[in-house]
Amino acid sequence: MGMLQPNDASREQELRLWLRSAGLADGKASYRVDEVCRLLNISLRTAYRMVTDGRIRSVSFETAGKTTYRIPRPFLHDLISSAR
């Protein structure tokens, strides 16, 4: 991750505003799919579809045959930037 570049600081501020407007904590390192769907104002089904087809970048974990997805904060930066 390293230090934030000047452009990254404004993206971070914009992300914090989006998170607050969706009622989400802005200090987390990653977010669940249901949190991202609230942020984007889309259905949970659409959010999962976007995660599985790669439109929303994520990290997946498999435990006992169940796949769990998390969207790291830097990936949200990219998502917010591309939504402009």
Rounded CA-CA distance 64/40 in Å is: 30
pTM of the model: 0.73
**Domains in the chain with CATH codes:** 7-82 (1.10.10)
Among 6-15, 31-40, 45-54, 66-75, the minimum mean pLDDT is found in: 6-15
Mean pLDDT of 49-58: 95
Cβ-contact 1, 71 below 8 angstroms? no
Q: Say what the pLDDT of residue 6 is.
A: 52
Give the distance from CA 46 to its chain's centroid: 14
What are 7-33's pLDDT values in tens digits? Answer: 667 777 877 887 787 777 777 889 999
pLDDT exceeds 90 at position 48: yes
